[in-house]
C-alpha cells in the first residue's frame, strides 16, 4: 500500500484573512454564528445507495452520510475508521477486522460486527442479483469467498478468492461504506434507491430530504456521531452545474462552500479576495488523451511525433492556469514512485517531431500545410468534453499538432457520448480524466493498457468484458501487470509499476496532459475547516464548523 504519497505537498492551501473595511472577521461575526450552512456543488447521482452505482456511493461519502472500515489520509495511507485493528494471514487471503466498539448508526442502532457483515453481504448479493437496478461493482476491487461475523469478538472475517497486498485500501472505496441494511439482505423490502432518507450511515450527517428532480438535499446532524460533536445542526446541498455560477453564488452569499471551480478568472478572483479561503490539493487524477491503436495512430512515427509536438508544460501552467501540474508518466508524481528512473524519449521537441515525420516519409506534398499518410491528409478524430478543462487541453493540443502539419477534427460532446464513442473505437485521440489510485494502488487505472495474456481485456463487440478500449497490446506490459497484481511485496510492486510506465513511454501509448489539482472554497465569515482531500470522494466532515 502506498504510504509515502505527498510528503512534501499533501495539501497546497491559499490562506486568506479578512482585511480592509471588513476588519477582523471573527469579531465582526461574534455572537452571530450560523447553525447551518449551504454547499453549492455539482451532483453526480440521484441515489445514495452504495450498491446502486459508483457515483451514488461517492455521493453518500462526500455528503458525510457514510463511512468505511478505513479512510485514506492525505498521504493515501489507509487509517482506521469503523475498524480499529485487524489481522491478516500469511498468504494475504484471510483478513479479520475488529469493529470499533461503541459506534452507532445515525438511527441509534449499534454498528457492530453483525451489522457490518450484513451490509457487505447485502452489497455483493444485490450487485450480483439485481444488476438491472444496481450496477456497483464491489468485486472489481475485492472478490470475497465469504464474509462472516463473530459477534462475541465483534470481528468480521473476509476470505478473499486470491491474495491482495493490502485490502485496507480497497475497503476505503465508497462501495464498501457501512449502512444499516435492517437485515433485509436478499429481498426488495427496503428500497434505498426510491427513498434516500432510508440510507442510514455512521457519518456526521443524516439525509433529511432529497429531491430527485433538482438533486438538492437537506441534511441534519447525526446526534449519535462517534467522533464527537458535529458543529453544525445541518446543511443544504444545492446542485450547481456551472463553475462561474458557483463562484457568483459564493460571492453573493447564497452558498457558504463550493468545490472545484476550474475557470481561471473565477478561481483567481476568489484566491485574491480575503473574504474566501481556498484549499487546494494535488490530487491523484491524471488528465490524458487515449490513443487508438486500431486507427491511423498505429503508425509508430506519427504517434511518437504527436507526443513530441505538445508543449504540455505551457498548456498546464498557462492555458488552464495551473489546474493541472505537468507530467509525462501516466501516474501522478506525488504517488511516490521514483519517476527519476524513467527515460522520457518522446518529450516536447517540435523540430525533433518534424524530423521524425520527414524521415518516415510523412510529408506535405501539395503545400497545403498538412502532411499526408498513404496519400491522404492526416486529420485526427479528437473526442473531448468540458469536465475538468479537458476541452481546453484538447484544443491546445490541436494547435500544437497543427504546427507540425497534423490536422484534427475536434468533437465536443457530453461525457457519456464520448465514452460510448471511445468504446466503439470511433476516435484517434480521446480526452479523459482518471482517478489513478482510487483504492490505493493503480491496478484498475493501468488496466486501460492491459491486453491480457489471452487478449481477454481487449474490448470489442465480441468481448464486451474487456476494459482496454485503445487496442494497445504489449506482452512486456502484460507480464509486468500480471506480476504486479499477484505480488504482496511493496518493493517489487514499485519496480513493476515503473516498468509498466516505461513501456508506455517507450511506445508513446498515451498522451499525458498532467495531474489535476482539486480545490474547496469557503466563505471565511461563515465557515471554517472546509478542506479538500487528496482523494476526491471526501468532502463534508465534522471538522467543518461555524465561525463564532
pLDDT in tens, 218-258: 999 999 999 999 999 999 999 998 889 999 999 999 999 99
On the 0-12 / 13-18 / 19+ scale of CB atoms within 10 A, 454 is exposed
Among 250, 279, 283, residue whose Cα is nearest residue 15: 279
- Range of lowest pLDDT (46-60, 79-93, 179-193, 327-341): 179-193
Query: What is the reported pLDDT for 184?
Result: 60
For 154, the grid coordinates are 465483534
What are the tens digits of pLDDT across the range 20-32? 333 333 334 444 5
- pLDDT confidence bin for 188, thresholds 50/70/90: low
- pLDDT confidence bin for 420, thresholds 50/70/90: confident
Q: Examine the pLDDT at 7 and tell me if it is beyond 50.
A: no
- pLDDT confidence bin for 192, thresholds 50/70/90: low
**Rounded to whole angstroms, how far apart are CA atoms 129 and 479?**
34
Query: What is the reported pLDDT for 136?
Result: 86
Phi, psi of 500 (to 5 degrees): -65, -40
Query: What is the reported pLDDT for 508?
Result: 98
Query: What is the reported pLDDT for 414?
Result: 85
Phi, psi of 197 (to 5 degrees): -70, -10
Among 12, 206, 228, residue whose Cα is nearest residue 103: 228
**Rounded to whole angstroms, how far apart are CA atoms 340 and 323?**
23
Q: What is the mean pLDDT of the chain?
A: 90
Query: What is the reported pLDDT for 470?
Result: 96
Q: Which helix (H) or strand (E) holds 521?
A: strand 510-523
Q: Would you give the end-to-end CA distance of the chain in angstroms? A: 40
What are the tens digits of pLDDT across the range 372-392? 999 999 999 999 998 889 999
The three-state secondary structure class of 490 is: helix
What are the tens digits of pLDDT across the range 493-532? 999 999 999 999 999 999 999 999 889 999 999 999 999 9
- State the CB neighbour count (10 A cutoff) for residue 4: 14
> How far from 488 is each of 161, 441, 484, CA to CA, in Å?
15, 12, 8
> How far from 233 is each of 37, 62, 76, 546, CA to CA, in Å?
9, 18, 30, 10
> How far from 527 is each of 260, 275, 545, CA to CA, in Å?
17, 11, 6
Query: What is the reported pLDDT for 186?
Result: 56
Query: What is the reported pLDDT for 190?
Result: 53
Query: What is the reported pLDDT for 1?
Result: 45
- Range of lowest pLDDT (29-43, 209-223, 428-442, 477-491): 29-43
Residue range 284-311: mean pLDDT, rounded: 96
Query: What is the reported pLDDT for 106?
Result: 97
Q: Give Cα 482 to chain centroid, integer Å.
A: 24
Query: What is the reported pLDDT for 23?
Result: 36
| Partner residues linked to 546 by β-bridges | 527
DSSP at 100 = P
Query: What is the reported pLDDT for 346?
Result: 96
Residue with the bigger pLDDT between 214 and 281: it is 214
Residue range 78-95: mean pLDDT, rounded: 97
**Rounded to whole angstroms, how far apart are CA atoms 457 and 467?**
6
- State the CB neighbour count (10 A cutoff) for residue 350: 15
pTM for this prediction = 0.81
Domains of the chain: 12-275+524-546 (3.40.190.10), 282-517 (3.10.105.10)
**Residue found by looking up cell 444485490 in the block:** 126
- Range of lowest pLDDT (357-366, 432-441, 443-452, 507-516): 432-441
CB 105 within 8 A of CB 202: yes
**Rounded to whole angstroms, how far apart are CA atoms 384 and 432?**
8
* Residues near 6 by beta carbon (within 8 Å), at least 6 away in sequence: 74, 75, 76, 282, 334, 534
**Rounded to whole angstroms, how far apart are CA atoms 4 and 493?**
14
> How far from 195 is each of 45, 137, 191, 211, 224, CA to CA, in Å?
14, 22, 7, 10, 22
CB 354 within 8 A of CB 406: no
Residue with the bigger pLDDT between 543 and 55: it is 543
Query: What is the reported pLDDT for 167?
Result: 96
Burial track 92-130 (b if 16+ CB lie within 10 A, e otherwise): ebebbbbbbeebbbbeeebbbbbbbbbbbbbbbebbeee
Longest CA–CA span in the chain (Å) reads: 82
- State the sign of the Cα–Cα–Cα–Cα dihedral 481, 483, 487, 490: negative
The three-state secondary structure class of 476 is: helix
| Partner residues linked to 30 by β-bridges | none
Most confident of 253-257, 457-461, 533-537: 253-257
* Residues near 285 by beta carbon (within 8 Å), at least 6 away in sequence: 332, 388, 433, 434, 435, 436, 515, 516, 518, 536
Q: Examine the pLDDT at 270 and tell me if it is beyond 80.
A: yes
Q: Which helix (H) or strand (E) holds 96?
A: strand 94-99
How much of the chain exceeds pLDDT 90, in percent? 73
How much of the chain exceeds pLDDT 70, in percent? 92
Amino acid at each position: 500500500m502506498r504510504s509515502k504519497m505527498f510528503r512534501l505537498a499533501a495539501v497546497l492551501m491559499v490562506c486568506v484573512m479578512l482585511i480592509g473595511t471588513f476588519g477582523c472577521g471573527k469579531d465582526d461575526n461574534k455572537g452571530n454564528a450560523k447553525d447551518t450552512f449551504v454547499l453549492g456543488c455539482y451532483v453526480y447521482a440521484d441515489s445514495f445507495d452504495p450498491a446502486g452505482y459508483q457515483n451514488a456511493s461517492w455521493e453518500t461519502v462526500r455528503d458525510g452520510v457514510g463511512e468505511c472500515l478505513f479512510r485514506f489520509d492525505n498521504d493515501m495511507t489507509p487509517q482506521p475508521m469503523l475498524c480499529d485493528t485487524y489481522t491478516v494471514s500469511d498468504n494475504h487471503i484471510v483478513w479479520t477486522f475488529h469493529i470499533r466498539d461503541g459506534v452507532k448508526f445515525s438511527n441509534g442502532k449499534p454498528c457492530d460486527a453483525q451489522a457490518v457483515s450484513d451490509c457487505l453481504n447485502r452489497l455483493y448479493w444485490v450487485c450480483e442479483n439485481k444488476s438491472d437496478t444496481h450496477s456497483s461493482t464491489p468485486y472489481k476491487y475485492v472478490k470475497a469467498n465469504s464474509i462472516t461475523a463473530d459477534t462475541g469478538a465483534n470481528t468480521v472475517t473476509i476470505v478473499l478468492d486470491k491474495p491482495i497486498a493490502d485490502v485496507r485500501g480497497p475497503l476505503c472505496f465508497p462501495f464498501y461504506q457501512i449502512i444499516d441494511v435492517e437485515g433485509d439482505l436478499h429481498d426488495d423490502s427496503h428500497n434505498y434507491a426510491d427513498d434516500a432518507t432510508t440510507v442510514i450511515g455512521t457519518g456526521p450527517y443524516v439525509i433529511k430530504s432529497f429531491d430527485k428532480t433538482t438533486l438538492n438535499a437537506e441534511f441534519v446532524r447525526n446526534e449519535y456521531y462517534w467522533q464527537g460533536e458535529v458543529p453544525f445542526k445541518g446543511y443544504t446541498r444545492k446542485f450547481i452545474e456551472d463553475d462561474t455560477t458557483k463562484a457568483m453564488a459564493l460571492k453573493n452569499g447564497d452558498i457558504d462552500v463550493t468545490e472545484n471551480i476550474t475557470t481561471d478568472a473565477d478561481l483567481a478572483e476568489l484566491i485574491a479576495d480575503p473574504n474566501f479561503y481556498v484549499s487546494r490539493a494535488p490530487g491523484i487524477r491524471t488528465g490524458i488523451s487515449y490513443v487508438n491503436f486500431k486507427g491511423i495512430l498505429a503508425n509508430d512515427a506519427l504517434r511518437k511525433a504527436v507526443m513530441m509536438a505538445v508543449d504540455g508544460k505551457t498548456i498546464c501552467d498557462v492555458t488552464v492556469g495551473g489546474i493541472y501540474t505537468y507530467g509525462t508518466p501516466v501516474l501522478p508524481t506525488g504517488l511516490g514512485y521514483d519517476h527519476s528512473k524513467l527515460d522520457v524519449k518522446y518529450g516536447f521537441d517540435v523540430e525533433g517531431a518534424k524530423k521524425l515525420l520527414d524521415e518516415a516519409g510523412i510529408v506535405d506534398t501539395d503545400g497545403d500545410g498538412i502532411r499526408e499518410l498513404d496519400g491522404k491528409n492526416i486529420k485526427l478524430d479528437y473526442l473531448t468534453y468540458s469536465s475538468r478543462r479537458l476541452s481546453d487541453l484538447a484544443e491546445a493540443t490541436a494547435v500544437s499538432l497543427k504546427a507540425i502539419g497534423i490536422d484534427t477534427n475536434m468533437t465536443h460532446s457530453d461525457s457519456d457520448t464520448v465514452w460510448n464513442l471511445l468504446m466503439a473505437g470511433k476516435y484517434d485521440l480521446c480526452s479523459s480524466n482518471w482517478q489513478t489510485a482510487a483504492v490505493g494502488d493503480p491496478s484498475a487505472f493501468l488496466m486501460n493498457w492491459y491486453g491480457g495474456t489471452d487478449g481477454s481485456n481487449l474490448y470489442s463487440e465480441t468481448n464486451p468484458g474487456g476494459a482496454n478500449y485503445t487496442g494497445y497490446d504489449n506482452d512486456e506490459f502484460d507480464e509486468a501487470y500480471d506480476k504486479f497484481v499477484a505480488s504482496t511485496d511493496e518493493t517489487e510492486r514499485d519496480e513493476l509499476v515503473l516498468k509498466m510506465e516505461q513501456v508506455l513511454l517507450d511506445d508513446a501509448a498515451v498522451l499525458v496532459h498532467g495531474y489535476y489539482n482539486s480545490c474547496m472554497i469557503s466563505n471565511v465569515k461563515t465557515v471554517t475547516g472546509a478542506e479538500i482531500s487528496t482523494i476526491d470522494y471526501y468532502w463534508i466532515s465534522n471538522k467543518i464548523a461555524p465561525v463564532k
